Amino acid sequence: MATQTTAPDPETLEKPKRRFFTAAFKAKILDLTDPVSPAERSKILRKHGLYASHLTEWKRARDSATLAAMSKKRGPKSKVDPQQEELDRLGRENAQLRRKLEVAELIIEVQKKTSLLLGIQLDPTDHLRKD
């Protein structure tokens, strides 16, 4: 039995990557496309591999904010308040400790039931002893 291997399609990339445009690049393209005709604008867009929707989005960002806002990165916002960070950390730690306590209590219950089945008497003050 011969196995056939198919060659990858040369028209597509193995793993596409998201393109990232710097704020300076966006500003440069907007400066180039603002004063020209639609035909000239299309040439510029084709030359740089851009779409008209890029221009629309970048113009909207430029009109509503500064150049710094145009370079805004995606993802969660960083927390600035150290008290809130500490509160969040303590909350996560508390939740983790509660889960550990639940597991420990479940294990103790199983140990109690096992000792009853085996007929072993447990000392109720056993946990109070210091060895």
Average of pLDDT values for 121-127?
A: 71
Q: Residue 72 corresponds to which tokens in the numbers above?
A: 């805004």
- Condensed to tens digits (0 to 9), the pLDDT of residues 15-74 reads 777 888 888 898 899 988 888 888 998 999 999 898 999 888 888 888 776 555 556 666
Of the listed ranges 5-9, 34-38, 99-103, the least confidently predicted one is 5-9
> How far is 57 from 77, CA to CA, in rounded Å?
21
Higher pLDDT pick, 51 / 130? 51
Query: Would you state the pLDDT for residue 98?
Result: 97
Q: Whole-structure pTM over 0.75, yes or no?
A: no
Closest to 74 measured CA to CA, from 11, 115, 129, 19: 19
Q: What residue ranges do the domains of the chain occupy?
A: 23-70
Residues near 60 by beta carbon (within 8 Å), at least 6 away in sequence = none
